[in-house]
Amino acid sequence: MDRDRLAQALMATFLEELEGHVAALNRDLLALEKATSPARFGELMTSLLRTVHSVKGASRAVSEGLIETACHRLEEVLLEVQRQGQASPELMEVCFTAADALDDAGRRLALKQDLKGSPLEALLPRLQEAAHAPESPRPAPPRPSEPPPPPAPETPAPAVPPEAPTTGAESLPVRVSAQKLDALLARSGELRVAGLRMEGRVELVEAMHDELHQLRLRLRGTDEAAARRLETRLAQLGRALATDQRMLLQATSGLDEEVRRARTLPFAEACAGLERNARDLALALGKRVRLEVRGGALELDRSLLQGLREPLLHLVRNAVAHGVETPAARQEAGKPEEGRVTLSARLRGGRVQVVVEDDGRGLNVASIREKARARGLPVLEDAGDARLIFMPGLSTAESVTAVSGRGVGLDVVRAQVEAMRGSVDVAFEPGQGARFTLDVPLTLSTLRVLLVTAGGQSFAVAGESVERLLRLEPGDVRVVEGRQMWVATRALVPLAPLTTVLGLEASAPRPRPGAMVLAAGEVRAVLVVDEVVAEQEVLIRGLGSRIRRARHVSGVAVLPDGRMALLLNAASLVRAAEGRTAPAGLFPAPVEKKTRRRVLLADDSMTTRALEQSILEAAGYDVLACVDGQEAWERLVTEGADAIVSDVEMPRMDGFALTEAVRGSPRFGRLPVVLVTARARPEDKARGLQVGASAYLVKSAFDQTHLLETLRHLL
């Protein structure tokens, strides 16, 4: 290897080491601030001195004199801390600043930038001053009995931990770059897809064997004997192929498992640096915060942990800035002065659930709704409105600061989690805290998907996001406030054609269209598709650097036959379907009769009654106008009607009672009933549909187009 390549290899190793050493410095400095016993204090000081000494020796090997000088002075500062026997705030801040400057220096070197004028160079005088500060008048406690760390070797070799024995029986750890492990995992995935493709070849050979057998039965003489021999050889080939396919899949599964194991890191790795961020932000805001990590030993794929770093940073900073109160406010609320932010991780099947929780004030939903209305966002007046905080540009902060107020943090969290085929949800309890739940897949390289078609194109959807498959009947769909909803057992689920959500040309209506129920956290939606093709395991590829964010798409699925299909983002589809007004014509329209349809209109308000009557008559309906439900029922019995449009709150008989009477009648039991009312509460909508209303429209969001489209659909 020539000298230039050797220098580059040494620098790459040094930078990888430096990243780990900076993380260790931050971890030990944070622990040092909280150390209560002399034994723990001495242990941490020894570890810190060893880390700095290792960086100094490694920097000397790559001829980075500035880092070597800075580490030498940082050693002197740490020795001063050791001499004082306690971590004074002034010296601790100098040490934390040095850790940040070393981190910055590593990033600059990775970009091949010069360190001249860097924060590390600017810090040197401050390190010199801190190391030679005037002695404290208090007597210095005895130093720990452990001798100072040995000199670091001239070449960077801290891959062997200082505590680890180096006997001949021990094998030395080997550093493998993340890029090489990523490439190895990709090859493993391709092998797995090749094994699945072989399965199709085995089926083809078996089909050929069956065809040859049928052909042989129609032959005689020497032709039959030749066909029999060929049939036997084809059967042998089929069995051999099946055996090879099983062995390939078995070997691939073992390789896949070993590669994944080599790529895994503890969840605590994704949390590295978060405690430091929480500490610095809390100090800047005059707060006291303790960060706790639970499930830190859980081993997860490094690419998954890398993807979680920034979302977790945003959520922790959000919890400290917006959730946890000041010590005075917490004391007044009967809470401990120190707030708590907890990060936890656990496995749920083939997915990982990561929770960021705080014990602060919770969410101000009234403020969230106010800001959402000001930006023209839909407000539902229910618990789901808390999710509005994930919308871009929405912030409840009173003013814009360096920490908050621009409304980008939680939008970034949602976008990055969904890019990993995951979802994020929020729950809270006023005055007690907020809880953000991130749900992401355990692996990002291979996936079992459902293949569907819509608008003449093929798409893949993660199988874990598909709750169930449906065949829709007209009675399964109701119209509520102009939106089509699927009537589930205990809830109404938003419904939309996949072509509408993706902006594709609509497919021709079918008598019993297929649909899939997608779940993203606690939210669900029904997406209507042309056809469900198959469920199979595929290799996942990213969209590439040229395509940053494609709407509703999170990657590309490589199918076993070599074809590709866009992998759709389930969480994005669910969110889009939630606010989508599905067009009429989901089912084939019946042949319209030549006669004019008669609509029975019931409303006790003369103004509303006149308005709705004029809208219906202008659309070609004959209208029987009634002042309340009782008159409407009497005229229905005597004169009949094709549909009913009724208010809810009326004297003598209200709209709910009128609907119940209609549904209980053998003669009019199947008559469409549309309730148009000012009652917008979810429980009122649920009751209206429970008594049998075909559609429920709210007057505050009244649109004559919705009313006419609803009637046309029902009739």
* Each residue's pLDDT tens digit, 206-227: 888 888 888 877 776 677 778 8
pLDDT-based confidence at residue 143 (cuts at 50, 70, 90):
very low
Is the confidence at residue 614, as pLDDT, over 80? Answer: yes
Nearest in space to 587 (alpha carbons), one of 461, 452, 712, 456: 712
Q: What angle is formed at CA 245 by the lines to CA 239 and CA 246, rounded to 5 degrees?
A: 95
Q: E strands of 155-310, at which residues? A: 264-266, 289-294, 299-301
Those residues with Cβ within 8 angstroms of residue 357's Cβ, 6 or more apart along the chain or in another chain: 319, 341, 342, 344, 433, 434, 435, 436
Is pLDDT at 486 greater than 50 in this prediction?
A: yes
Token pair of 58 as six digits: 């490694």
Tell me: pLDDT of 336 over 90. Answer: yes
What is the pTM (predicted TM-score) of this model? 0.57
pLDDT at 319: 92
Pairing mode, if any, of strands 564-568 and 598-602? unpaired
Residue bearing the bigger pLDDT, 220 or 602? 602
pLDDT of the residue at 264: 80
| pLDDT for residue 526 is more than 50 | yes
Residue 423's DSSP bridge partners are: 439
Confidence (pLDDT) at 175: 59
Residue 39: pLDDT over 50: yes
AA letter at 82: Q
Instruction: Give the largest Cα separation in the chain, rounded.
Output: 115
Closest CA to 709 of 622, 581, 595: 581
* Confidence (pLDDT) at 141: 40
The answer to whether residues 535 and 450 touch, using CB atoms and an 8 Å cutoff, is yes
Confidence of residue 174 (pLDDT cuts 50, 70, 90): low
Q: Among 365, 363, 292, 273, which Cα is nearest to 322's? A: 363
**Cβ neighbours of 454 (radius 10 Å):** 23
Lowest mean pLDDT among 299-308, 495-504, 538-547: 538-547
Query: φ and ψ at 567, to 5 degrees?
Result: -90, 115
Handedness of CA 47, 52, 53, 57 (dihedral sign): positive
What CA–CA distance (Å, rounded) separates 495 from 473? 13
Report the SS3 class of residue 6: helix
Question: pLDDT averaged over the chain?
Answer: 80
Q: What is the pLDDT of residue 177?
A: 63
460-483: pLDDT as tens digits: 998 888 888 888 887 788 877 667
CA angle 254, 258, 263 (to 5 degrees): 145
Q: Where are the beta strands (DSSP E) in 177-271?
A: 264-266
Mean pLDDT of 290-316: 88
Alpha-carbon distance of 356 to 348, in angstroms, equals 17
For 87-108, the pLDDT digits (tens) are 788 888 999 999 999 999 999 9
Specify the higher pLDDT residue, 455 or 442: 455
Q: pLDDT (tens digit, 9 = 90+) per residue, 687-710?
A: 888 888 888 888 766 667 788 888
Range of 134-148, 546-560, 622-636 with top mean pLDDT: 622-636
What is the DSSP code string of 47-113?
HHHHHHHHHHHHHHHTT-HHHHHHHHHHHHHHHHHHHHTS--HHHHHHHHHHHHHHHHHHHHHHTT-
Q: Confidence band (pLDDT; 50, 70, 90) for 415?
A: confident
